[in-house]
Amino acid sequence: MVVSNSQHETAVVVRRDGQTVVFVRFKAGRLSCERLTESLFRETWRESHYPLQETIERFLEHARIHGCTQEAQKGLIRLQERDRAVVASLF
């Protein structure tokens, strides 16, 4: 899921278990995962209608150039693969 906040920052949610949300915020420099409780996340972030696949590709390209944590990279790649599998199963 692609989300944005009131400061117009964009993030990709890589894991959500009902209590904790793990997301990668797009920012200058090295990307990393951040965690918030579900309730605080809902107060701060809103779902965005940016295309998921393009957004993940942009995040991964930024990560190749500026670096990212292993957790962020694995989360983004796993989400990208899951999205591709869902789209492929439609055809």
Selection from 18, 27, 86 nearest residue 58 by Cα: 27
What pLDDT, on the 0 to 100 scale, is given for residue 48? 95
Q: What is the mean pLDDT of each run of 10 residues along the chain (91 residues)?
A: 96 96 96 97 96 95 97 95 67 53
- Nearest 5°: phi and psi at 49? -100, 20
Total structural domains in the chain? 1
Domain that holds residue 39: 2-90
What pLDDT, on the 0 to 100 scale, is given for residue 6? 95
What pLDDT, on the 0 to 100 scale, is given for residue 84? 72
